Structure 1
Amino acid sequence: DDGGSVEVTGVVKNDREEVVDTLRTLHGGMGCLRFTAHTGERYYAECTMAGGKTERFDLPASRNTACVLKILQTEENFTVLPISGRPLPKGLKLLVHCRGNICYHKPWNYDYASLIFRRSDLPGGILQILLLDKAGNALSERLVFNRGEELATTDVQVRGSLKQRTKVTLAVTATDPDGRPAAGDFSIAVTDRAAVPSATSGSIYSTLLLTSELRGTIETPDWYFEGQDAARVAALDALLLTQGWRRYDVPELMKKEYVEPQYPLEVGQEITGRISKSGLWNRRKKLSRYEMRMIVPSLHYVTKCAVDDTGAFALNGFDFPDSTLYVLRPAAVRGSMPEATVKVARDSFPEVGTLPRVPAQEQKKPYIAQARYYIEQRGQTDMRNILIDTVYVTHHKRLESTRPEHRLAARTWTAEQIKESGAGTILDFIARMPGMSVVGRQVSYRGYRPGFMVDGRLEETVGEMNPVRAFRSTGMGRNHKTQTRLPPIPDPGGWIDFTGMNYSNTNSAQQSTGGNKRQIQYIDDFDNVPDILYYPLEIVSRIDLIEGGNMVLWGVSHWKQAGIISITTKKGKELDDATRTLPARDVEFVSPLGYQTPAEFYAPAYATEKARRSMVPDYRTTLYWNPTVKLDDTGQATVEFYTSDAPADYDITIEGITQTGKIVRTVKIITE
């Protein structure tokens, strides 16, 4: 009833109630039997479970016109033999592939003969064997597991005592099958053998080579690889016969009939969505003439992608931290087109079910009762289980920002103050800031061009803001008047390519030298504002103005009359809530989930006598865990950890993939 397997025994009978064979499961409720089925006879199986309950299952009718691939396996090779109740047609081909890579594809010219394959000539993992007719239709197919040279050799040397709170050193050496030192990142876990049961599923070997190729849940997949005895080999073959999901529809591929996968391969983050033109007519026509452009203001990243006939687009090939702000805008590939509205597909996640971790009779109790029950079973509290009193949170104090652009700001406008200003865009609000002058795309602060900062990053180089570098003059005296104008930046047509700004040299500098006199004149129209200034204020969390000596942190000095305008955008749910209230427009803001910096695994160190005498109990079940242990050029790595208070044996598990694609999988038991 719970969907798990049941071990059974039984018999197979024909319609005359005659027993033709016996049956029994080998492992995980699966097994196999062999008998000759006759045309016109029906068969059924009687299965008896533990406790004596018997069930009857009718078997499908036999077809003597079918063709079966029989596999005879040994440790070094396996034999493929076709069996059919009728002569095989002409023009047959035998195809063998592993994970989509063709290993064998030749005509089958052996009438009722067999073909032998050496396992060493084929890759490790699940092999799909198909017998195809001349039209590419599969007459028969079979799955075989090949234990090839997919494992690297790993050696672990243990130095140190396993006494309480002492240091243990592990020296790990990995070698590829060809004898060369292995390179790559590997994970190492050291667990208490008595407290943590041995894993029966989820190892890197069974995941990559077995469960990823089969349909449904595989019970205890690691069990099949704990040895190479006949019982495990037969049980693994029964698994492939029972749950042999045909991951690749090879006959369709042979006919050049490809089916696009429902979910594409993920190589990083991806933002997908759809655009539609404004207006009531022809909203779905000529959408492929657009392209989707995207910028990341805080990282100066720019990319774009094509839009198909339905208006769908997919931006990928990037991977940025969590809560990064992305700005999307459709634009015509060439010529002018009406503005289009952007609709971004929101992230969706499947529901994840978990198995109960406490006895069934305890599940109905409140959580506090379950916790007390667990502590009673342990006999004491330790660092894994600390029962604290109930804490009521009545107010969340807003912490002061530690970002330098916030702490060093001379003036700050919060989201509430920005909203009360009544401005529409960020540029509109800047125009209302004291000392600011905005004329079109020209912005100046007290007669000088200000710098712009978005989420802690300057939108233009410091050299363009620093007059000491802008003057580019030598021997300039106090009485020498110099007109300083920076080179203009071409108008990017509404979008700034942050990755490759080029400055125009059409206005040449006028130089005159005489003695120590030297003057250089540049042209400056202050037309250098980032496009984020044209975005609505709803995405802004705060705006700060930095001026004076505080600008030195960003390389700006000796320019007391200039300033830096710092814009901090909203993130996460706050941004989603703000953008939902905005009217339809041709710009979309999105802040999807990204990667996060992982926290370091906690492992106490008892390097001193005082630390070893600490009264804090230490009953860790996992003593060491590191997901990224790097091997050096000789294929070696050294890790250290301290034992706990519980005298126990330890399991050391090492897993990973070498740079040559070989699997590292080693479990070692260390005892005192």
Structure 2
Amino acid sequence: KPRQKVKLTVTPKDAAAAIEGSYSVSVTDEQKVPVNEDNETTILSSLLLSSDLQGYIEKPNYYFNKTDDKKLAALDELLITQGYRRFNYKDILADKFPQVAFMPEQDMRVTGTLRDRTGMPVRKGALRLTVPGTTISAEAITSPSGVFAFTNLALPDSTEAVINAKYGTNASNLMIMLDPAPLPLIAKNPHPQEEVVNIDSTMSAYLNNSKRQYSYLRTLKEVKIEGAKAKRPSHADHPALSGLSSINSTVIEGDRLKDCNSVALCLQTMAMGLTFFENNFYVSRDYQAGSRVPVQIFLNGMPIDYFGLLSVQPSEVESVEVFTKDDLGTVNRMYNTNGVLVVNTKKIEKTTISLADLKKMLPKDNMLKFTPKGFAKQREFYMPKYVNPANTYNFNDLRSTIYWNPKVMTTAGAPLTLEYYNADGKGTYKAVIEGIDKDGNVSRFVYRYTVK
């Protein structure tokens, strides 16, 4: 029944006698977490098959799920095809084992090198590691090559640790070089065959249940952030050019010039309505009519000639404005020209910084702050306890994982009994027990029961 207390008895046996072992137990609601058993990764498929074969194995648990003669024959073909031949029994019988490439991690440690300002390692240098706000601290002495190591650490996650060498001699001239934490390489999926194109439809049952499970939580309303559009540089920023009308202008955005080697050369073809001849720009309609009055060029409101335009970097240009008409005639009369070409460069915002802020930005020579990948606090799997009748609770129990225990130790004596409560979901619940006994035998068992 829903929310009923369940007692699950675990008794691993070898033939007829109970045996000692270490196992994990999980109970899930199959209506909420449907699984293709042939495609599962289990303790059997991982230890006995995938870890000893080369290449991709499609549906590795297929060979262990309800085994028959057909699956055993397919397993033989798989082992022959994908190289199940890496064992040398002569070496094993002679106690010659292959070298272990990756040793098991024994503790959390922080390593690095202590150097002086010339880059030379400092031998017998004293360092101290502390975590501000806690009583955690450790000390270390560098080796002849300047290497230090803080071992057997138990740092909590998301904390800031400090290493300083200010207690040693010549401390003001020391530099602490921390070794980077080893991280796995980011690569493409080695098994693209397992990629799911539409994950939403594949996990629809689980996603719909999660939506119901957290529907009672308060959802924040939409927040719209409105702001004024940033003002771009233009000819209107300069009083001498404010009389030019934007109606008669053609704007060339700076992005169009980013691949140019020279702004002056690109404008010879990009400046619509202008003709370039002998280091001058002319209004095309007047040039074709015989007029040889050049266009005046401005750079951020300052008059320049064509050679001044050659010094402008394309990456610095915000926009270029081309005016083939000067309706008021203010620019044409002042410079005795015909037409205006305005180049606007990007504005660089200047900010001030105090001396105290600058000191904070500069690292201290004999001190180093860093955030290590620490341990998270141990958490136990949450299981509700329904001591009162089910109708006295005013919430829905929509758990998909009903029970989880990663460390179930059995003995050769009395059977082990596990207790938990069902959720509100009705249907088939799946209990999976897998592990290894004291003799190294791998086992897995699946038990299903119905909640009505």
Question: What is the TM-score with the length of structure 1 in the denominator?
Answer: 0.36
Secondary structure at 2:35's aligned position in 1? coil
- Which residue of 25, 49, 61 maps to 1:188? 25
CA distance in 2, matches of 1:361, 1:382: 16
Instruction: Specify the SS of the correspondent of 1:207.
Output: helix
Q: Which has the higher contact order (CA 8 A, sep 6+)?
A: 2
In the TM superposition, residue 228 of structure 1 has moved relative to its aligned partner by 4.9
Give the C-alpha shift of residue 667 in structure 1. Answer: 1.5
1:626 is the counterpart of 2:405: yes
SS at match of 2:177: strand
- Give the alignment partner of residue 641 of structure 1, picking from 397, 420, 434: 420
Q: Which has the higher strand share?
A: 1
Maintained 8 Å contact 1:322/1:596: yes
Partner residue of 1:320? 155
Structure 2 residue aligned with 1:342:
176
Deviations 1:103-137 (A, max 9, x none): xxxxxxxxxxxxxxxxxxxxxxxxxxxxxxxxxxx
Aligned to 1:302: 138
SS in 2 for 1:169: strand
Q: Is the 8 A contact 2:428 2:448 kept in 1?
A: yes
Distance 1:236 1:602, change over 3 A: same
Residue identity in the other structure for 1:274: T
Distance in 1 between the 2:212 and 2:138 partners? 52
Match of residue 445 from structure 2? 666
Using the TM superposition, give the Cα deviation of residue 386 of structure 1 relative to its aligned residue in structure 2, in angstroms: 5.9
Q: Kindly state the Cα deviation for residue 210 of structure 1 after the two structures are TM-superposed.
A: 3.1
Question: Could you report, residue by residue, the CA deviation over 1:371-390 in whole angstroms, capped at 9, with x for unpaired residues?
Answer: 99975xx8x96326668644
Q: Secondary structure at the match of 1:223?
A: helix
State the shift of 1:170 in Å.
Answer: 0.7
* Other-structure match for 2:2: 164
**Equivalents in 2 of 1:292, 1:208: separation in Å?**
46
Matched, 1:382 2:212: yes
User: Tell me, what secondary structure is at the counterpart of 2:212?
Assistant: coil
1:586-601 alignment, distance < 5 Å: 586-601=366-381
Query: 1:661 Cα shift?
Result: 4.5
Distance in 1 (alpha carbons) for counterparts of 2:80 and 2:150: 41
State the alpha-carbon separation in 1 of the partners of residues 195 and 359 from structure 2: 40
The 3 A distance-change label for structure 1 pair 259 and 242 is: same
Is the alpha carbon distance of 1:194 and 1:342 closer, same or farther for their aligned partners in structure 2, counting shifts above 3 Å?
same
Say if 1:225 and 1:658 are closer, same or farther in 2 by CA, change over 3 A.
same
1:197 aligns to 2:35 (yes or no): yes
Partner of 1:543: none
Q: What residue identity is the alignment partner of 2:156?
A: P
Deviation at 1:593, TM superposition (A): 1.7
Q: Which residue of 1 aligns with 2:277?
A: none
- The Cα offsets for residues 378-404 of structure 1, whole Å up to 9 and x where unpaired, read as 8x963266686444589xxxxxxxxxx
Residues 165 and 171 in structure 2, CA contact (< 8 A), matched pair in contact too: no
- The verdict on how the C-alpha distance between 1:668 and 1:591 changes in structure 2, with shifts beyond 3 A counting, is same
Q: 1:173 aligns with which of 7, 11, 15?
A: 11
- Post-superposition offset of 1:600: 3.8
* 1:305 Cα deviation from its structure 2 partner: 7.0
Change in CA separation of 1:352 and 1:641 when aligned onto 2, cut-off 3 Å: farther
Corresponding residue SS for 2:213: coil
SS in 2 for 1:649: strand
**Residues 26-84 of structure 1, C-alpha deviations (whole Å, 9 max, x = no match):** xxxxxxxxxxxxxxxxxxxxxxxxxxxxxxxxxxxxxxxxxxxxxxxxxxxxxxxxxxx
Contact 2:30 2:428 in 1 (8 A): yes
**Which AA in structure 1 matches 2:35?**
P
Map Cα deviations across residues 585-637 of structure 1 (whole Å, 9 max, x no partner).
2443433122212444344433322x335464444332222223454683643
* Segment drifting more, 612-621 vs 187-196: 612-621
Decide whether aligned partners of structure 1 residues 270 and 202 sit closer, same or farther in structure 2, where only a CA change above 3 A counts: farther
Matched, 1:233 2:72: yes
The answer as to whether partners of 1:321 and 1:596 remain within 8 angstroms in 2 is yes
What CA deviation, in whole Å up to 9, does each residue of 1:225-281 have, x standing for no partner?
22554433343344444444998999xxx9x9x9994x55322323233343322xx
Aligned-pair CA distance for 1:222: 1.9
Counterpart in the other structure of 1:266: 105
1:189/1:654 contact within 8 Å kept = yes
Higher helix share: 2
CA contact (8 A) 1:169 1:639 kept: yes
In structure 2, what is the Cα distance between the partners aligned to 1:624 and 1:633? Answer: 24
Q: CA deviation at 1:652?
A: 0.7
Identity %: 28
Is the 1:290–1:331 contact (alpha carbons within 8 Å) kept by the matching residues of 2?
A: no
SS of equivalent to 2:71: helix
Q: Give TM-score scaled by structure 2 length.
A: 0.51
Change (3 A) 1:633 1:362: closer
Amino acid in structure 2 at the alignment position of 1:202: T
In the alignment, what sits opposite 1:515? Answer: none
2: CA distance, partners of 1:580 / 1:176: 66
Distance 1:590 1:646, change over 3 A: closer
Change (3 A) 1:264 1:671: same
Which residue identity does 1:382 align to in structure 2?
A: R
Q: How does 1:247-646 map to 2 (within 5 A)?
A: 261=101, 264-279=103-118, 283-284=119-120, 287=121, 289-290=123-124, 293-296=127-130, 298-299=134-135, 302=138, 304=140, 307=143, 309=145, 315-323=150-158, 326-328=161-163, 340-347=174-181, 348=183, 350-351=185-186, 359=198, 382-383=212-213, 389-391=219-221, 581-609=361-389, 611-612=390-391, 614=393, 616-631=395-410, 634=413, 636-646=415-425
Q: Structure 2: which 5+ residue stretches go unaligned? A: 225-356
Over 3 Å counting, the alpha-carbon distance change for 1:175 and 1:260 in structure 2 is: closer
Q: Quote the RMSD (CA, aligned, Å).
A: 5.3
Matched-pair contact (CA < 8 Å) for 1:293–1:329 = yes
- 2:49 alignment partner, one of 201, 206, 210: 210
CA change 1:232–1:356 in 2 (3 A) is closer
Checking the alignment, whether the CA contact within 8 Å between 1:605 and 1:642 is kept in structure 2 is yes
**Structure 1 range deviating more: 297-306 or 660-669:** 297-306
In structure 2, how many angstroms separate the alpha carbons of the residues matched to 1:372 and 1:669?
19
Q: Does the aligned pair in 2 maintain the 1:382–1:618 contact within 8 Å?
A: no
What is the CA-CA distance between 1:665 and the residue it aligns to? 2.5
Structure ID, larger Rg: 2
Matched residues in 1 for 2:85 and 2:150: separation?
A: 31
CA deviation after TM superposition for structure 1 residue 655, in Å: 2.7
Secondary structure in 2 matching 1:608: coil
1:188 aligns to what SS in structure 2? strand
SS in 2 for 1:382: helix
Aligned partners of 2:173 and 2:84: how far apart in 1? 48
Structure 1 regions of 5+ residues with no counterpart? 1-162, 364-369, 395-576
* Residues 342 and 232 of structure 1: CA distance in aligned 2, closer, same or farther (over 3 Å): farther
